[in-house]
Structure 1
Amino acid sequence: MKNRKLMFLFALFVSIGMILAACGGGSDVDNGSEGDAPDYTAAIVTDEGGVDDKSFNQSAWEGLQAWGEEHDLSKGEGFDYAQSNDASDYLPNLTSLVRDDYNLVFGIGFLLEDAVSDVAGQYPDTNFAIVDTVVDAPNVASITFAEHEGSFLVGVAAAMKTESDQLGFVGGVDSDLINKFEAGFVAGAKSVNPDIEVDIQYVGDFSSADSGKLIATRMYNDGADVIYHAAGAAGNGVFAQAKDIKQNDPDRQVWVIGVDRDQYEEGEIGDHNVTLTSMVKRVDTSVQEVSNLGVNGEFPGGEIVEFGLADEGVSAAKTNEEALTDDIVTEIDNWKEQIINGDVEVPQTRDELESFESSL
């Protein structure tokens, strides 16, 4: 499969599409005249967290909604979603959207890998895209991110903010993908202070907020004051516990690091906000951008489309200006520059993390 790195330049895509249409070539898709909706439709299938998980799925849906608005489309008339409650829904949801004649169907999350692979083989004339893993098929675009790089930056923030030198990491499913978040976070924290301790626990899914809350309760009780979650809707439980603590003891310093979307709003409680930062992963922009490639007849089937730190595919949110002091922001920016320049190679696996730690 070919690799393609894309910048987030929507205006460029629109301009290219108009030029190609004017020249009468470069696309088999009818883009319509200026102001008209394109003859191209797209839909997403969520993973088990649901479309309103306030994290990964919601980000994808927001990206598709932005794409629809960009092209004067409406829900059910040009774009839509199918929500999955568990793994048994993946294949039926994908198949249903194909039969509804959507030109492009996204599988949101690595858990849909097998289902996307199966349905792509059954419907070779439909475009598919999968987020967070690779499906090697000529009609599938595989969208990947440098989650470890963004996680490194929020690890730096956590290490500089902690007063106890104890951090927590709550993952969803213990998998190669979520291990990237884990490894990057630990590496970033220990690059600031090698003596920091990180308690690492996994929920087992991306939907059980109650389990996420229970894990966070134990971590905060054991002394952690900053917890990074990469657990989808299960991470809502981490926010719930931090806010419960803050409500009962406003002077206690407890923080959450969000994931995928900027989860600043999830941390609001009265005059306080427990969201230190978020590892923003532009699933929204990737969905919008790949959909625009489809509109322009340039759908990257059979390719891996990569979004990284250099093109803002991942980043550390700086919304909480009160919590992220100038020295923390400066340190984040310094490490970001080193990573982009290649001076720091961020580990992606536990084995790579072990080697990284031994070099500190």
Structure 2
Amino acid sequence: MKKILALLILSVFSLVLVACGEQTTEWNIVMLTDVGTITDKSFNQGTWEGVKAFAEDNDITHSYFRPNAATHASYLESIDMVVANGANVVVTPGFLFETAIYEAQSRYPDVYFILIDGEPHTPDYSTFRTDDNVVNILFQEEQSGFLAGYAAVADGFTNLGYMGGMEVPAVQKFGIGYVAGAYYAANALSKTITFDASRYEYLGDFDNKPEHTTKAASWYNAGVELIFVAAGGAGNAVMAAAEATSGKFVIGVDVDQAGESDTVISSAMKELAIAVRQELQALIDGNWNGGQTLRKSAANDSVGLPTAQASWRFRTFTQAQYETVLGKVKDGTITVPQTKAELTAFLAANGNPSAAALVNKTVTE
């Protein structure tokens, strides 16, 4: 009996030791903003809303920080600072973080990084490397842009414009897809459109500036009916111009921007909040996708146009028509171009092969 009692005591003591040895990770998530602010109603805000919702649902410490400048040095200094202050998960939305994450991933092997819209590489692009503590998320923005361009022309718009923010890959792909979608619809639906090369421009920033409103107003006054603006906070500047001129409209970007202005007829969306929540959930569940680049597309419902009743403001283009063309993008019947060369070939096969000047504006060299 004494032996049995001794074994029971030893078993209980062993369980206590095991329990004491268990460690629950105290997560601390910090998001660093890309160029722009946390209230840009676009890329930064969409990502932050995903981080915030996930953290609140799981009672996890979370915060954000805006680097002092859009430079490698400033981004790396910001990473150093937030890690020193206890961050063990760092979310960085934006292509401009690529070189900083390349360096930080080996400097902080115990910190998890989620890089959106980029892959870590050296400043000279000679070496790309994604360590096990990094997950990259890339979206096929060209598909979202294509759907926006197709819908615009199918809805009856005939004079189009495109304003991008900084000429980074995501912004380039939005524009390439938009041009492809517009001309594809014009060809398929036997419509004539005007999309002049002078109405395709990169603004150089993502800020809500008066000069962007002035530029957009000049385009509208010259006959442009609809501007797709892939430029973060600068979208609000274009919306202001549309609001001041009767019968002018805007296509928003990244998130559903219908709430920003009645002139937003649709938005070329990326499901940023969903994507970042999925990867944060994978991390805490022990299913971290470290060392990988995840590609989000129409096929996995990660890009497209908003279909909520309050956001669907097309005048004649129906949701049934949208689902038809979306299905063709999803199943690969329509392969949307991503580069200038691919756009040239696409237009030759499906649209207007003479739009050379416009094609050259999609990506400057």
TM-score, shorter chain, exceeding 0.5: yes
**Corresponding letter in the other structure for 2:45:** Q
Quick one: which of 328, 351, 355 aligns to 2:341? 351
* Alpha-carbon separation, structure 2, partners of 1:152 and 1:277: 13
* Alpha-carbon separation, structure 2, partners of 1:255 and 1:336: 22
* Alpha-carbon separation, structure 2, partners of 1:215 and 1:111: 26
How high is the sequence identity, in percent, across the aligned residues?
Answer: 31
**Corresponding letter in the other structure for 1:147:** E
The equivalent of 1:33 in structure 2 is: none
* Alpha-carbon separation, structure 2, partners of 1:90 and 1:240: 32
* Alpha-carbon separation, structure 2, partners of 1:351 and 1:85: 37
* Alpha-carbon separation, structure 1, partners of 2:112 and 2:230: 29
Classify the secondary structure of the residue corresponding to 2:298: coil
More strand by share: 1
Answer whether contact 2:155 2:316 (CA < 8 A) is retained: no
Tell me, yes or no, if structure 1 residue 259 matches structure 2 residue 253.
yes
- The 5 A counterparts of 1:1-360 are 30=24, 39-73=26-60, 78-88=61-71, 89-135=74-120, 136-138=129-131, 139-163=133-157, 165-194=158-187, 195-198=192-195, 199-245=199-245, 252-267=246-261, 273-319=262-308, 320=310, 323-325=313-315, 327-360=317-350
Ranked by relative contact order (alpha carbons within 8 Å, sequence separation 6 or more), the top structure is 1
Classify the secondary structure of the residue corresponding to 2:283: helix
Once the two structures are superposed, what CA deviation does each residue of 1:171-229 show, in whole Å capped at 9, x if it has no partner?
01123321110111111111111442322111012225334323312221221111111
**Structure with bigger gyration radius:** 2
Aligned length: 311
The equivalent of 1:248 in structure 2 is: none
Answer whether contact 2:95 2:169 (CA < 8 A) is retained: no
Answer whether contact 1:160 1:328 (CA < 8 A) is retained: no
Displacement of 1:318: 2.7
Answer whether contact 2:265 2:311 (CA < 8 A) is retained: no
Runs of 4+ in 1 over 6 A off after TM superposition: none
Answer whether contact 1:318 1:324 (CA < 8 A) is retained: no
Runs of 5+ consecutive residues of structure 2 not aligned to the other structure: 1-17, 121-128, 351-365
Answer whether contact 1:162 1:225 (CA < 8 A) is retained: no
Answer whether contact 1:156 1:331 (CA < 8 A) is retained: no
Displacement of 1:114: 1.4
Displacement of 1:41: 2.4
Over the aligned positions, Cα root-mean-square deviation in angstroms equals: 2.0
